[in-house]
Amino acid sequence: MPKHPSPSRPTAYVNARLLDPASGLDALGGLLVEGEKIAAIGKDLFRDGARWRVPEGAAEVDCRGLCLAPGLVDMRVLSGEPGEEHKETLDSLGHAAVAGGVTSLVCLPNTTPVIDDMSVAEFIARRARKVGMSKAYVYGAATKGAKGVELAEMGLLAEAGALAFTDGLNAVANARVMKNALAYASSFDLLIVQHAEEPALAQGGAMNAGARATRLGLSGIPAAAEAIMVERDIRLAEMTGARLHFAHVSTAESLAAIRRAKDRGLKITCDTAPPYFALTEADVGDYRTFAKLSPPLRSEDDRRAVVAALKDGTIDAVASDHIPEDEEVKRLPFPQAAFGGIGLETLLPITLELVHNRELAMLDALRLVTAAPAKLMRLAAGELAAGRPADFVLFDPERAWQVDADKLHSKSKNSPFDGRAVQGRAVATYVDGRAVFAAESDRR
């Protein structure tokens, strides 16, 4: 990719296909960065007929028609640090993020220690700033230790920078605790995020309940385990008037319940993750532990329902659901293997599959990974506008490549998309105007 001029000098990125879902802009034009901010953006900006003419004193970067979009905002990422640095550090996480075009990410609280205390929230923010790659934000735990018993100090955690509250990988199972978490959070207008899975129904399960689980002799997690908790929590949100968000929704039934709740005007939102619109339980194959995810990969009917919900707006955002797990916990017999897959570097290409398959228009697909999650997290990100931080990504939507887990930047290699042929890749990523990533083959 283009050379990267010093950040002190204003830089004009010209001849780019500007894609900004927030404003609906999709046109060839230019973007001017001054310091850490976007100074100007527009169709045909700096264009002079067939040529580009940049302001006096500004460096010029010719983007050669590549797409220029807001940096991706990934609202569901697990960091190994602190506690499990052998799986992922904030350093490896930051590098994996920018390699995937992600410039803001939100860390789940399920670290060791759990993010239920201001010091942990501050530690992650400080370390991420030092790494200087993607911007890292945190969720605060909704309950102490993410154990689902006592409420965490949500007010204080919010002051320390927590964007929203969730027990992350764990569902808040007890209905009364959930009701209290919602009610309390709503006093501060804070968002609660739920991993919707009724634990008693899911207990011992290794994959989606159904014909395939039966054939493989694996204990199943029924789709209803998700729908039951979604329905319950919608009622609790209604009782308390709280804002509630469901993470990685994976089933047709849950989506139907969420659609009904939205139609009734409740403050319910949800996201899904690429595996749930690009893979199914069939991808478990012969006990592939990289396809052991939580929630489990579902049926083809569920996958189609997820795509439909992305199209009709029932699903607000797409997050990578990046869960790094090492070989020690993945190279095991399937029932014993850990749940989860990495996803930062496949978030963009798998989301673009929806565009290539003509399910979504380019701007609508990008909105799901930029402006929409930024809005949910109330972050000043995911938008190309003058005055905004210069966080953006240049990508080639057509570039074909094959996912090779060993070549991904994450310290853990557990990609459910390993080996998949995909199209679209980040070519260069910028955070606060700094070039933080350039794809290898394009490096000069």
Give the residues lining the site for another protein (CB under 8 A).
Answer: 203-204, 206, 209-211, 213-220, 222, 286-287, 328, 331-336
CB of 58 closer than 8 Å to CB of 411: no
Hey, what amino acid is at 197? E
Residue 349's contacts (CB-CB under 8 Å, 6 or more residues apart) are 401, 403, 422, 423, 424, 425
CB of 209 to another protein, least distance (A): 5
The Cα-based distances of 397 to 96, 394, 404 in angstroms read 19, 10, 18
Return the number of the residue (31 or 216) whose C-beta is nearest another protein: 216
d(CA 175, CA 131): 40
CB of 295 to another protein, least distance (A): 16
Return the number of the residue (76 or 292) whose C-beta is nearest another protein: 292
d(CA 89, CA 81): 5
Return the number of the residue (287 or 339) whose C-beta is nearest another protein: 287
CB of 278 to another protein, least distance (A): 23
Return the number of the residue (203 or 441) whose C-beta is nearest another protein: 203
CB of 284 to another protein, least distance (A): 10
CB of 303 to another protein, least distance (A): 17
Residue in the structure block whose two tokens are 């609906």: 24
Residue in the structure block whose two tokens are 């990969």: 297
CB of 377 closer than 8 Å to CB of 75: yes
CB of 338 to another protein, least distance (A): 11
CB of 220 to another protein, least distance (A): 5
Find the Cα–Cα–Cα–Cα dihedral 102, 105, 110, 113, rounded to 10°. Answer: 110
d(CA 122, CA 133): 17
Return the number of the residue (57 or 204) whose C-beta is nearest another protein: 204
Residue in the structure block whose two tokens are 């290539």: 356
Sign of CA dihedral 362, 364, 365, 370: positive
Return the number of the residue (219 or 423) whose C-beta is nearest another protein: 219
Return the number of the residue (217 or 387) whose C-beta is nearest another protein: 217
3-class DSSP state for residue 410?
coil
CB of 47 to another protein, least distance (A): 57
The Cα-based distances of 268 to 224, 308, 316, 379 in angstroms read 19, 18, 10, 18
Q: Specify which residues 70 forms β-bridges with.
A: 392
CB of 401 closer than 8 Å to CB of 422: yes
- Residues taking part in catalysis: 321
CA angle 169, 135, 318 (to 5 degrees): 50
Please choose, from the candidates 246, 253, 304, 248, the residue with its C-alpha nearest in 3D space to the C-alpha of residue 279. Answer: 304
Tokens of 301: 């009917």
CB of 190 closer than 8 Å to CB of 165: yes
Return the number of the residue (328 or 404) whose C-beta is nearest another protein: 328
Residue in the structure block whose two tokens are 């955002």: 317
